[in-house]
Structures are given as C-alpha cells and as structure tokens.
Amino acid sequence: MSARPLQAQDKLAFLLSLVPYLIDHDGVSVAAAAAQFGVSEQEMRTAVELIAVSGIPGGSGQYQHGDLFDIDWDEFEENGRIILTHSVAIDEAPRFSAREAAALIAGLQYLSALPENGDRAALASLTAKLARGASSAPSPVAVSVRGIEDALAPLRDAVVRHVQVEFDYRDAQGETEHRTVDPLRLDSDDESWYLRGWDHLREAVRTFRLDRMSGIAVSDRAVTPASGEVTLPDVLFETSSTDLTVVVEVAEAALPLLGDYLPEGTRTQPGRGPGLVQATMRVGHYAGLKRLVARLAGMVTVLAPDDARAAVADWARAGLAEYGESTEEGSL
C-alpha cells in the first residue's frame, strides 16, 4: 500500500517535527524516516531538500552558509541516508543543567520501579533524551532500594497480576506474625519502601515496610472482592482512632518534613523561641515516634505527653550507652 499524500494542513507540522527527529536519529535512512512519518520516500526526499535550504538570517539580515541547515549530500544521494551536518535555531533552545537533568533522571528511575508504570522502555528512552539534551553530561545517578530488590520483584508481580501474597511481618515492637495480603500498591517514603494492601488478619487496609517482611510467597489465589472496593488515598499513612497524639516543637521551616504525621488541616502555635512552632501530630506507636525524632535530630522536640517524652529519652539514653556515653536526666 502506498503512503497517503500529505495534505496542506499537515505539511507544516510534518516539517516542524522532522528536524528534531533527524537530530535524534543521526544517519537514518530515507526509507526508515518515510515509514516513521507515514509518507512516501519521494515526499521524504523533497522535505529533506527543503530543510537544507532553510534557516534564519544572520546579523547582516542575509542568509549566509552558516545560517542554513546542511546535510551530507553524498550520503543522501548515493546511499539514501540523512545526516544533518549543520543545524540552526534548535540548538539555541534552553537546556537543562547537568544537575537538573540528573535530578529528573533520578525521578524517572523512581517511577520505573513502581508497578503501575509498565512501559519501562518509554521511561528509558526519555532518560536517554534528558541525558543528551543537558548542557553537559549529567552526573551518574541511581535510586537505591536499600537491598530490598528481592522483595520488590515478587510484590510488583503480585500487584500487576492481582494475586495474594503471604509473608512473615515483624512490627515496630519486634513481634512477628504471618500475614496474608491482597497487594494494592507499592510506595516509597524517603529511603523506605512500603506495601499497601488488604490485610486478611486485620480485615482492613494496612501498610507494611518491605525491610520487615520475610518469607515472601506469591500465591495463585486472586485477590478478594473486598480489596477491589478499596480506594487508596494519596497519603501513605492515614490517621485512625487508635493513633497516639503527640505535641512537638519544630522549626517552622522544617514543618513540611513531618509530612503525613500531621493530620490534614493541622494548625500550629508559636513555639518557645524565634522561628519555632508547636504542632500536634499523630503516630501509631511510640516506636515510630523514636524513628522520626532520630531522622530529624536537632529539629524536633517532644513536648507532651510525658510518656512520649520518656519513651524518646529512654531510647536516646540507651543509644548513647552503646557508645559508652551518659546524659543528665534533664538534658534530653
């Protein structure tokens, strides 16, 4: 079947998209380029010849040799290959800095790890384009999953296939239980990865840290209808009636670091010093509070209740004791 002739309204869009394509596919054949755009080889040759006499006027207002596109004419006429040897205007477009490109590439690597992003070839292609389009070579970057690759792979497969998983789970108190879960979604928060799913033991949606899971087994049992009716919120951790309420003092600039620990609509009060605010947060247990304070060391102070302060202080003293250090009772 012959290619459909271009209509007048299509020609401008065709030419505007052809130049970036030729830059991105250096040395492409006329036949391959024609197939890519759904035109005949003769139409492709005509378009390339038009590009070769196009450009922008220089400082003199006239078109000089360096003001026009140019191609390798010998390759074009003898071997049917399109090689741009000079391009104008497009190269002057703003480019990402090496640091900006590296940050975007890191984000794409994170997205490629999520099970809902199945088209990893497209993400890899976009990553390569970002690297080529930066003003200089981006720094090598990789998103670490902290040694949980063996857990991610089967869980990702279970989410995609909508089948149940079983595993042993060690909670924050160190107790281990066997769980059967309908997996719904994999998420990450800072350096930790979590599985959210319908827990058959609790008959509710629960969030599990992957580094506390062991003996993961993917079954052939389809997820239950109950899990299909669940709508997961965007926030990773939801508050519940069993959560513990804790008052903390934190630098106002660091308040966003508390993230999902702060219920929606949380109001703050002035703190005891300049730039400090007090906020009420909710935690599932004091073990989670200890980790939060450790992660934001020097930025968060627990004010109330007394048992929360004692839990954090005792935990800090135990840690210091491991280094052979001690603290006064009122210094924590």
Residue 59: pLDDT band (50, 70, 90) is low
Q: Tell me what pLDDT residue 5 has.
A: 54
More confident residue, 66 or 225: 225
Q: Is residue 236 part of a domain?
A: no
Quick one: 28 and 72 in the same domain?
yes
DSSP one-letter code for 211? G
Quick one: 264 and 188 in the same domain?
no
Among 40, 73, 92, the domain boundary falls at: 92
Q: Tell me what pLDDT residue 297 has.
A: 78
Number of domains in the chain: 4
C-alpha to C-alpha distance for 118 and 109, rounded to whole angstroms = 13
Q: Is residue 239 part of a domain?
A: no
More confident residue, 162 or 38: 162
Q: Express each pLDDT in 151-196 by its tens digit.
A: 888 998 999 999 999 999 987 667 889 999 999 988 876 567 889 9
Among 177, 196, 228, the domain boundary falls at: 228
Quick one: 39 and 104 in the same domain?
no
Q: Is residue 147 part of a domain?
A: no
Q: Is residue 59 part of a domain?
A: yes
- The packing angle between helices 30-37 and 41-51, to 10°, is 100
Quick one: 284 and 211 in the same domain?
no
Quick one: 58 and 87 in the same domain?
yes
Among 195, 228, 261, the domain boundary falls at: 228
Quick one: 271 and 303 in the same domain?
yes
- Contact yes or no for 44/149 (Cβ under 8 A): no
Quick one: 63 and 77 in the same domain?
yes
Q: Is residue 111 part of a domain?
A: yes
CA distances from 42 to 17, 50, 51, 77 (A): 18, 12, 14, 12
Q: Tell me what pLDDT residue 23 has.
A: 79
Quick one: 14 and 66 in the same domain?
yes
Quick one: 274 and 325 in the same domain?
yes
Quick one: 116 and 53 in the same domain?
no
- Considering 55-59, 66-70, 125-129, 204-208, the range whose residues carry the highest mean pLDDT is 204-208
Nearest C-alpha neighbor of 182 from the set 166, 195, 168, 164: 164
Q: Is residue 144 part of a domain?
A: no
Q: Tell me what pLDDT residue 332 has.
A: 46
Q: Is residue 234 part of a domain?
A: no
Residue 326 domain boundaries: 244-331
Quick one: 252 and 320 in the same domain?
yes
**Domain containing residue 30: CATH number:** 1.10.10
**Count of Cβ atoms closer than 10 Å to residue 183 Cβ:** 26
**Domain containing residue 157: CATH number:** 2.30.30
Quick one: 270 and 325 in the same domain?
yes
Q: Express each pLDDT in 274-332 by its tens digit.
A: 889 998 887 777 777 887 788 777 888 899 999 989 988 888 888 888 877 655 544 44
Residue 32: pLDDT band (50, 70, 90) is very high
**Domain containing residue 295: CATH number:** 3.30.70
Q: Is residue 269 part of a domain?
A: yes
Q: Tell me what pLDDT residue 331 has.
A: 42
**CA trace torsion 58, 62, 66, 68 (10° rounding):** 110
Q: Which two three-digit tokens encode residue 63?
A: 């078109």
